[in-house]
Amino acid sequence: MVKVVCILLVSIYLFANPYETNCLYCHKDKKELKYFMAEYSLKYSSEKKIKKAIFRFLKNPTSNKSVTPYGYIIKHGFKEKSRLNDKDLKDAIDTYYDKYNIKQFIK
Amino acid sequence: MLFKLSQNKNIQKTIINVVSIYLITTILLVLTLSYVYIVNQEKSIFLLEQEKIDIQAKYIIDQLEILDDNIVEEVAFYPRVEGIESAIYDVDKNLIFSTFDEKIILFDAKRFIKDDFIYYVYNIEPYYLGAAYLVIQKKKVLEFNSTLKKIAAIVMLIILFLVFTSFLLVKILIKPLSDNVNLLDKFIKDTTHELITPTSTILNNIEVLDLSTIDEKNLKKINRIKIGATTISNIYKDLSFLLLNNRQKSENKNLNISNILNNRIEYFKILADNRKINFSVQIQDNVYSMIDMHRAERLFDNLISNAIKFSNKNSTIHIYLAQNVNQIVLSIEDEGIGMENSELNEVFTRYKRFNENISGFGIGYDIINSIVREYDMDIKIISHKNRGTKVILKW
């Protein structure tokens, strides 16, 4: 029984979306995620450019690549470099975009 | 007046040319002025429209800014403005949201027209809700269409007025010419009419003369009188045909043209004999054709008298008439002075004479041509300078 539970947990971890296993671990607040997407949209506009900007930032986070306000950085500090491989990182970004892109909130 | 003048092809051609040039240049001028006016009108209407659209676009962009500020908290209700439809596009020109159904492709133009709509494109900076472009769709301005209709109606009225005035002008301009033509017509008609009575009297009296009682010397003199009278009679018939041709309706009957042709040859024999010209006649009996008697005589008379006029002395005129299954062929060939190719091109021009030494008015071939065209005949003239001329008619 313990084995079955262990296998099940390992499988869930292995087949889980990198966005859920990596991003949501820290970013639990949905409003916060929506806010970041709004900031990216305001600065980069199109899907292609937003995804590219997020990827570049997560690979090597610097203040000039960040869209978050200075106060937020002071409070929470800078994010570490992502340890995900490019494919997983892109998958995670795709999922994030699908869930929070601004288009879907316009009626 | 125009009708009478129109009988003269050259005058008719001149009238058409003058009226055409006048109308074309004036219409072109009117159209150019209308075009310039329309373009200016369009510009001013567009500018006026643009001002209104600018205000509406600014309002939408302001609303987008407010929505962008609150997007985290709530759903963004896209701003709708009465009378216009709009859409927002991202920086890569992908559609974000639209209130109209028409599919458009964004270019760099600030304004473009597609189907019944005018599209105004505005840049948005920063990209509120991710929008880089605001596109406003507006139905084509009706005001401009009605202006266009008014201008078209005015242009049409001007053109109609121009057509009317051009004909009035032509009528005024050609009045002196027309009066002269009428005077000339009347003069020729009166002269020919006055000539025919004494000519007929001379010819009739010669016919009833008892020639056996007249000595040879006087017989020669009488023959000369007959030739002169026949020539005058022929000229009268040609001139009256030319003057009355368009006013007299053809009375077509199935006529024995073999007999008519033989009679006309007989009629002209005295003229031919005088110049020692022989007739070599090959006429098939009882060839019938639907033709007007008067016109058939004018046709044959002119063909024969032309052949006599242009024949050399002591030569032969070959006359051939035959009917095949569906076609009548008539040919008259002389052994005379013939014509150059350049002369052949102008042979049907009225009053055109190629040899001033030979008497005539230059109307023979014109009469032949008008009858040939009336009866849809095929005419062929083969001529060689100093060798003779052959006229072939087929119908």
Q: Is A53 on the interface with B (CB under 8 A)?
A: no
Classify burial at B125, counting beta carbons within 10 Å of its beta carbon; exposed 0-12, middle 13-18, buried 19 or more.
exposed
Residue A16 has pLDDT above 80, yes or no: no
Judge: B76–A49 Cβ closer than 8 Å, yes or no: no
Residue-wise burial string across A27-44, b where 16 or more C-beta atoms lie within 10 A, e elsewhere: eeeeeebbbbbbbbbbeb
pLDDT tens column, B183-196: 877 787 777 777 77
Nearest CA in chain B to A32: B72
Query: DSSP label at B241?
Result: H
B236: pLDDT strictly greater than 90: no
- The larger pLDDT score, comparing residue B188 to residue B22, is at B22
Q: Residue B244: its pLDDT value, please? A: 65
Q: Which of B74, B89, B90, B95 to mutate to test the interface with A (most CBs of A within 10 A)?
A: B90
From B10, B18, B13, B4, select the one nearest B352 (Cα to Cα).
B10
pLDDT for B360: 63
Q: What is the mean pLDDT of residues B49-68?
A: 92
CATH number of the domain enclosing B328: 3.30.565.10
- Shortest Cα–Cα distance, A38 to chain B (Å): 7
Helix (H, G, I), strand (E, B) or coil at A62: coil
Contacts of A43 in chain B (CB under 8 A): 126-127
Q: B341: domain range?
A: 249-394
Displacement of CA B193 from its chain's centroid (Å): 35
Q: Which residues contact B292 (CB under 8 A, 6 or more apart)?
A: B250, B251, B252, B253
Contacts of B131 in chain A (CB under 8 A): 45
Give yes or no for residue B276 having a pLDDT over 80. Answer: yes
Pairwise CA distance, residues A106 & B253, whole Å: 92
* DSSP secondary structure of B170-194: HHHHHHHHHHHHHHHHHHHHHHHHH
Minimal Cα distance from B96: which residue of A?
A: A103
Report pLDDT for A4.
53
Return the exposure string of B82-111: e unless at least 16 CB atoms fall within 10 Å of the residue's CB, then b.
Answer: eebbbbbbbbeeeebbbeeeeebebeeeee
A104 touches chain B (CB under 8 A): no
Task: Using the predicted structure, report yes or no on whether residue B375 has a pLDDT greater than 70.
Answer: yes
CB within 8 Å: A49 and B68: no
Q: Tell me how far apart the alpha carbons of residues B166 and B30 are, in angstroms, rounded to a whole number.
A: 15
Chain A contacts of B68, Cβ < 8 Å?
Answer: 38, 42
Q: Are strands B328-333 and B316-323 parallel, antiparallel or unpaired?
A: antiparallel
pLDDT digits (tens, 9 = 90+) for A73-96: 788 777 788 888 999 999 999 999
Q: Is the pLDDT of residue B368 over 70?
A: yes
Whether residue A33 has pLDDT greater than 70? yes
Give how far Cα B194 sits from Cα of B145, B183, B229, B245, B246, Å: 70, 16, 14, 19, 22
Of A44, A50, A103, the CB nearest to B97: A103
Render B118-178 in DSSP notation, one character per residue: EEEEEE-SS-GGG-SEEEEEEEPPHHHHHHHHHHHHHHHHHHHHHHHHHHHHHHHHHHHHH
* pLDDT tens string B321-354: 888 878 888 888 888 877 777 777 776 766 566 6
Q: What mean pLDDT do residues B27-36 have?
A: 88
Residue B296 pLDDT grade (very low, low, confident, very high; cuts 50, 70, 90): confident
Q: Is residue B81 situated within a structural domain? A: no
Q: Do B76 and A31 touch (CB under 8 A)?
A: no
* Residue among B71, B94, B128 whose CB faces A105 most closely: B71
- What phi and psi, each to the nearest 5 degrees, are found at residue B139? -65, 145
Q: Chain A contact for B362, CB < 8 A?
A: no
- Whether B353 maps to a domain, the answer reads yes
Confidence at residue B88, expressed as pLDDT on a 0 to 100 scale: 95
Please provide residue B25's backbone torsions phi and psi, each rounded to the nearest 5 degrees.
Answer: -65, -45
Both tokens of residue A106?
Answer: 């316009």
| Mean pLDDT value across residues B64-69 | 91
Measured CA to CA, the distance from residue B165 to residue B235 in angstroms comes to 42
- Specify the higher pLDDT residue, B184 or B80: B80
DSSP calls for B326-360? S-EEEEEE--B----HHHHHTTTSTT--S-TTS-S
Sorted by sequence, the CB contacts under 8 Å of residue B288 that are 6+ apart come out as: B254, B255, B256, B257, B323
Nearest CA among B387, B282, B384, B286 for reference residue B336: B387
Contacts of A45 (CB under 8 A, 6+ apart): B90, B91, B92, B127, B130, B131, B132
Instruction: Note the pLDDT of residue B63.
Output: 94
Question: Among A31, A50, A103, whose Cβ lies nearest the Cβ of B96?
Answer: A103
Q: Is residue B386 part of a domain?
A: yes
Q: Residue B68 is nearest to which of A38, A44, A50, comparing CB atoms?
A: A38
Cα Dmax for chain B: 142
Write out pLDDT tens, residues B88-146. Answer: 999 999 999 999 988 888 777 888 888 888 899 999 999 999 999 999 998 876 666 77
CB atoms within 10 A of CB B13: 10
- A107: contact with B, CB 8 A cutoff: yes
Amino acid identity, residue B87?
A
Smallest CA–CA distance, residue A50 to chain B, in Å, is 10
In the predicted structure, residue B79 carries a pLDDT above the cut 90: yes
Residue B5's pLDDT band (boundaries 50, 70, 90)? very low
Asked whether residue B320 is domain-assigned, the answer is yes
Q: Is the pLDDT of residue B390 over 80?
A: yes
Question: Looking at the 3D structure of chain B, how many domains does it have?
Answer: 1
Give the nearest chain A residue to B125 (CA atoms).
Answer: A42
Task: Pick the residue of B65, B67, B69, B72 with the most A CBs within 10 A to test the interface with A by mutation.
Answer: B72
Average pLDDT score over residue span A24-34? 83
Determine the pLDDT at residue B6: 45
Q: Percent of chain B scored above 70 by pLDDT?
A: 90
CB < 8 Å to B129, chain A: 41, 102, 106
The interface predicted TM-score (ipTM) is 0.84
Q: Give the pLDDT confidence score for residue B380 in this predicted structure.
A: 84
CA distances from B380 to B279, B329, B330, B336, B346 (A): 21, 11, 11, 17, 14
pLDDT interval class at B280 (50, 70, 90): confident
The whole-angstrom separation of Cα A102 and Cα A98 is 10
Contact status of B128 with chain A (Cβ, < 8 Å): yes
User: How, if at all, do strands B278-283 and B316-323 pair?
Assistant: parallel
Helices (H) and strands (E) in chain B, counts: 8, 12
Angle at B360 between CA B359 and CA B363, to 5 degrees: 160
Above 80 in pLDDT, residue B251? no
Whole-number Å distance between alpha carbons of A29 and A41: 19
Average per-residue pLDDT in chain B? 81
Q: Is the pLDDT of residue B1 over 50?
A: no
Structural domain includes residue B337:
yes
Give burial (CB, 10 Å; 0-12/13-18/19+) of B197: exposed
Q: Is residue B117 part of a domain?
A: no
* Across B96-105, B161-170, B242-251, B315-324, least confident range: B242-251
Higher pLDDT, B233 or B163: B163
Rounded CA-CA distance A87/B361 in Å is 106
A38 → closest Cβ in B71, B91, B96: B71
Hey, are the CB atoms on B72 and A47 less than 8 Å from each other?
Answer: no
B75 lies within 8 A of chain A by CB: yes
